[in-house]
């Protein structure tokens, strides 16, 4: 296993405490990366200072980017450029994840299959699957390999309306988009068509063909899906549920809810049509119906929540609404 060389690339922005937690978990890995590159877009030197103690403990190098290189996809491309050409695999980690001790071992093991070009793992603190021996007929649940997932109210409504991919494996995108990503903690590997951005690994040779898209400026929601779709044209993508971490979603560096809501719809449309450029009229209708239904769910949150959460929900709803109307007149265009 260790004969396969790999680099870890961590892109960060103004999250020094998150970076420390991640580096601490890298210290405990059962196999060590050949190099760890920290690509920092911060506008101060706090992150650069807090990582000083780790240079003697880890194969760590720190790189501060120029203002024009800030943003997740741009910083990832910087990391690719600076990584060792002798690495077989490049692992991309968000700065706010904490790895289980054998995370890298299981993640890298996927590449023993020569057809695999990309892999990811399981986010344990977001996994809601529980063991289940029997499978009662109910729209309340999804079932996979002895596990069940209780659907949320909005997903149950979608299921009743025939707008939820209940019988499609998570990680596989239906023709009408709006798929699910979460897989059960079986310890098995599953072939998927998109990977989770907080923990993606790809063969380095892939980057002679494609790179992370500059369309996703700044926070760049769904940039992971975009790259996965393009990477999947070169080989298989695998989710190894034995490769586990926690994702803590640090609040700093994220857009306001209005901008986020706009990205949910506009970027969501972009990656859906990248994956399915000719989905057919029925599936186009379904995509819009699901988008409108999710908008209405956000509107109900405005009524039912406390004042601060109500303000956030209203911003999200407004952003989604503006982006949806804009799609009628202007469709996003690929920008690689």
Over residues 100-122, the pLDDT tens digits come to 999 999 999 999 999 999 999 99
Q: Which residues contact 249 (CB under 8 A, 6 or more apart)?
A: 96
Chain segment 126-169, per-residue pLDDT in tens: 999 999 988 777 778 999 999 999 998 889 999 889 999 888 99
The pLDDT of residue 172 is 96
Quick: pLDDT tens for 20-42. Answer: 999 999 999 999 999 999 999 99
238 against 134, higher pLDDT: 238
Q: Which residues contact 148 (CB under 8 A, 6 or more apart)?
A: 129, 130, 131, 132, 135, 141, 142
DSSP 65: P
Residue with tokens 């857009």: 255
Query: How far apart (Å, rounded) are the C-alpha atoms in residues 107 and 241?
Result: 9
Strands 60-64 and 97-99: unpaired
Q: In this structure, how many other beta carbons lie within 10 angstroms of the beta carbon of residue 137?
A: 5
Instruction: Kindly state the DSSP code that residue 146 receives in the 8-state scheme.
Output: T
Residue located via tokens 């996003």? 332
What percent of the chain has pLDDT above 70? Answer: 96
End-to-end CA distance of the chain: 34
69: pLDDT strictly greater than 80 = yes
Structure tokens at 319: 């952003």
User: Given a cut of 60, is residue 312 above it in pLDDT?
Assistant: yes
Q: What is the distance between the alpha carbons of residues 294 and 298, in angstroms, rounded to a whole number?
A: 6
d(CA 292, CA 48): 44
pLDDT of residue 253: 66
Sequential DSSP letters for 240-259: EEEEEEEE---STTPPPHHH
Is 1's pLDDT higher than 50?
A: no
Determine how β-strand 236-247 pairs with β-strand 130-131.
unpaired
Measured over the CA atoms of residue 94, residue 100, residue 103 and residue 104, the dihedral's sign is positive
Contacts of 256 (CB under 8 A, 6+ apart): 315
Going by C-alpha positions, the residue among 204, 205, 198, 197 that lies closest to residue 227 is: 197
Report residue 334's pLDDT band, with 50, 70 and 90 as the boundaries: low
Contacts of residue 50, Cβ cutoff 8 Å, sequence gap at least 6: 16, 17, 19, 20
pTM, rounded to two decimals: 0.93
By mean pLDDT, which of 3-12, 115-124, 212-221, 317-326 is the weakest?
A: 212-221
**In the numeric block, which tokens belong to residue 76?**
């990832």
Q: Is the pLDDT of residue 219 over 80?
A: no
Nearest to 89 by CA among 2, 188, 28, 213: 2
pLDDT of residue 265: 95
User: Given this model, what pLDDT does residue 336 score?
Assistant: 52
Q: For tokens 């120029």, name the residue.
A: 66
Q: What is the pLDDT of residues 248-279, one digit of tens each?
A: 988 776 778 999 999 999 999 999 999 999 99
- Tens digit of each residue's pLDDT (9 = 90 or more) over 45-61: 999 999 999 999 999 99
CA 251, 183, 164: angle at the middle one, nearest 5?
Answer: 90
Q: What distance in Å separates the CA atoms of residue 67 and residue 25, rounded to the nearest whole number?
A: 29
The two structure tokens encoding residue 8: 């870890």
Tally of CB atoms within 10 A around 20: 16
Q: Is it the case that residue 2 has pLDDT exceeding 60? A: no
Q: Across residues 225-251, what is the average pLDDT?
A: 95
**Which residue intervals of 184-256 are DSSP H helices?**
223-231
Which tokens belong to 33? 């990366």
Out of 138-142, 192-196, 233-237, least confident range: 138-142
Q: What sign for the dihedral angle of Cα 211, 214, 220, 225?
A: negative
Q: What percent of the chain has pLDDT over 90?
A: 79
Which residue, among 152, 153, 133, has the nearest Cα to 143 in the 3D structure? Answer: 133
So what's the pLDDT on residue 335?
Answer: 56
């Amino acid at each position: 296993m260790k004969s396969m060389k790999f680099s870890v690339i961590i892109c960060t922005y103004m999250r020094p405490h998150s970076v420390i937690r991640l580096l601490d978990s890298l210290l405990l890995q059962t196999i060590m990366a050949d190099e760890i590159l920290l690509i920092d877009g911060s506008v101060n030197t706090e992150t650069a200072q807090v990582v000083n103690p780790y240079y003697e403990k880890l194969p760590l190098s720190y790189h501060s980017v120029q203002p024009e290189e800030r943003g997740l996809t741009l910083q990832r491309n910087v990391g690719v450029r600076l990584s060792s050409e002798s690495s077989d695999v490049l692992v991309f980690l968000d700065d706010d994840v904490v790895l289980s001790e054998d995370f890298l071992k299981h993640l890298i093991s996927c590449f023993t299959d020569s057809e695999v070009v990309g892999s990811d793992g399981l986010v344990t603190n977001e996994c809601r699957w529980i063991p289940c021996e029997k499978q009662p007929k109910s729209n309340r649940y999804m079932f996979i390999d002895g596990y069940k997932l209780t659907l949320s109210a909005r997903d149950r409504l979608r299921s009743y309306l025939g707008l939820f991919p209940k019988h499609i494996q998570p990680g596989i995108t239906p023709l009408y988009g709006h798929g699910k990503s979460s897989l059960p903690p079986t310890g098995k590997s599953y072939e998927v068509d998109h990977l989770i951005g907080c923990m993606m690994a790809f063969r380095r040779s892939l980057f002679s063909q494609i790179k992370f898209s500059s369309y996703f400026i700044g926070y760049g929601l769904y940039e992971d899906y975009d790259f996965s779709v393009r990477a999947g044209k070169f080989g298989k993508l695998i989710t190894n549920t034995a490769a586990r971490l926690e994702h803590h979603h640090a609040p700093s560096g994220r857009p306001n809810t209005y901008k986020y809501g706009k990205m949910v719809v506009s970027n969501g449309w972009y990656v859906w049509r990248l994956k399915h450029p000719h989905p057919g009229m029925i599936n186009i209708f379904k995509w819009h119906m699901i988008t409108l239904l999710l908008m209405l769910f956000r509107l109900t949150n405005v009524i039912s929540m406390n004042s601060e959460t109500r303000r956030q929900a209203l911003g999200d709803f407004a952003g989604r609404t503006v982006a949806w109307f804009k799609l009628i007149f202007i469709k996003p265009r690929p920008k690689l």
